[in-house]
Chain A
Amino acid sequence: MAPKYQENDAYILGVTLHEAMPRVADKRLEEMVYDTAKEALDAVGISRRALDHVTIAACDELDGRSISSMLLAAPAGAYLKDEIKATDSGLTGLCLEATRIRSGRFHLGLLVSWNKSSIAPFEDVMRMRCEPFYTRPIGLNMSISDGLFAAAMQGVDEADASKVAASYRQAAAKNPRGVAAVPVAADAIAASPYVSTPLREGHRPPVTDGAVAMVVVSGAWLNDHPDARPLARLSGIGWSLESYQLGGDRLASMLGLKTAFGDAMKDAGLGNADELDVIEIEAQTAFHDIATRQALALPADQTVSPSGGPFAQNPYFCTGLVSAAEAVLQVAGKAGPVQAGRVKTAAAIGFHGFAHQGNVTAIFEEIPA
């Protein structure tokens, strides 16, 4: 009988999300990471000993410790394992994990990403991203760069952004994996204070604490373990980096998004966005959501972020990987109250860096019965 799975394809065997909270007060970061990694392995009956690699994704500045993996690799399951770290974003960790599996050398891995955003003044850490010559003396942070982005998006008004944010808050309130978001009406969002015009406080999700782990296996491993039931196949992945230097074109063109998305679609053998049943977007502002829909020419009836996106939970560094987890749950039919019917393909779109400099798209495919 022919093997059921393509040997070098990557499959998601299990997904675990740490309980989302504005602040996880009763655990140090090490314990959050351990609990998430341990639960991910236990849920699919895999022992740490069996892993042939661990991929982690985290940010030293946000962890508050240089080369933070030296402390945090072990609770992620990496003691004496082949461990490597991505530092751009949680979703970039999935890119790294995919390349490891697809190399044919690795077959059973654990991908772990985290962010205890509450430990430091978040925007002050973001300000450190400025280079010291030209931008740091002026002062950019995440909110201000997002405000510039929103201002550069001509033809999108604040009212549109307020409606989008309201709809996501409503969706997020139904997501049991979220922080129990409270629905807020669009007019209340439109009246919330400006942060950096035209970006208002209500247009963006609050930052939360969280962690996510995925058990990722090769098709070869699945063929050797016929009782294992993967949740999804990672059918396509693409990533792209735009210029650090901002300006009108850089802010509004969404060129990096288009490139990453196009590469992922090609990788998955898909042509048009309407072939995706669900798209989870890591939109750090409502303007990002609108810009993504416009840039990818998504149909008006496209199902976007049924999870509520970052409005459900927003552990900033790993929010993109949380979006990927939500996409996996959708194709597995396990998204619970936010399940969008039968989902054969779902994409996760993530951004990182000032004003979406870094872009990743991952596409997941249903496992046929």
Chain B
Amino acid sequence: MATEKTQASDVISGEWNVRYNYSVGKVAGTFFDALKERKILATKSSKSGISYLPPRAYCERSFEPCDEWVEAGHEGVIEAATIVSAAFEHLPPPPYAIAYVRLDGIDTAMINFVRNLDMSDVGAAMEKLKPGTRVRVEFIDDPKGEVTDFHYVL
């Protein structure tokens, strides 16, 4: 079917704003409460022996409940890190660094920002974020029970 070009605009714009109220649950709730006391809590499955951070209610490998709490160390090693150099809608202005860090005593890595990093030379900054590099946790002055209450520093 042949169609002729119309006079109408070639797009109709639309937005759909929906507010979700996600249930936090007991596990994440305990984690967020502990952050206010500058503690980072992981869960552990006694069945598999795996500790999870962020905490999980269950172990995805043994498929048994995580039945223990373990406090993570405030130091750890980078497993993967990147410096975001492109600007994306609804994300922080670049550049900024994020890293998956396995905190001492825990089996899984948790993502967070890496602060106080000189990123004027991105290549040089990335050298400092190589897997295996040790970092430490730094809390903000007034933790509110959110994941951004802490970040990593070299």
| Cα–Cα, bound, A110→B111 (Å) | 42
B22 at the interface (CB under 8 A from A): yes
Question: Would A140 and B111 count as touching, CB distance under 8 A?
Answer: yes
- The digit string for A125-156, where 1 denotes a CB below 8 A from any CB of B, is 00100001111011111011001111110100
Q: Report which of A26, A193, A243, A248 forms a contact with B85, defined as CB distance below 8 A.
A: A193
With contact pairs A133-B22, A137-B146, A243-B60 given, residues A124 and B100 touching in the complex (Cβ less than 8 Å): no
Q: Which A residues are in CB contact (< 8 Å) with B30?
A: none
Question: Of B66-74, B86-94, B135-143, which stretch is located at the interface?
Answer: B86-94
With contact pairs A124-B89, A144-B98, A246-B111 given, residues A152 and B20 touching in the complex (Cβ less than 8 Å): no
How many interface residues does B have (CB within 8 Å)? 39
Question: Would B80 and A152 count as touching, CB distance under 8 A?
Answer: yes
Question: Would B86 and A193 count as touching, CB distance under 8 A?
Answer: yes
| Cα–Cα, bound, A5→B132 (Å) | 55
Q: Which partner residue on chain A sits nearest B10 by CB separation?
A: A25
How many CB-defined contacts (below 8 Å) exist between A and B?
Answer: 115
Q: Which partner residue on chain A sits nearest B88 by CB separation?
A: A123
Q: Which A residues are in CB contact (< 8 Å) with B129?
A: 151
| Cα–Cα, bound, A258→B22 (Å) | 35
| Cα–Cα, bound, A249→B28 (Å) | 24
Question: Would B79 and A124 count as touching, CB distance under 8 A?
Answer: no
| Cα–Cα, bound, A64→B22 (Å) | 22
Question: Would A196 and B147 count as touching, CB distance under 8 A?
Answer: no
* Interface set of B (CB-CB < 8 Å, partner A): 10, 14, 20, 22, 24, 28, 52, 54, 60, 79-86, 88-92, 98, 100, 102, 108-113, 122-123, 126, 129, 131, 146-148
* Interface set of A (CB-CB < 8 Å, partner B): 25-26, 64, 121, 123-124, 127, 132-135, 137-141, 143-144, 147-152, 154, 193-199, 201, 243, 245-249, 251
- 10 contacting pairs across A/B (C-beta < 8 A): A138-B147, A139-B88, A139-B92, A149-B80, A151-B81, A194-B86, A196-B85, A197-B123, A245-B54, A247-B108
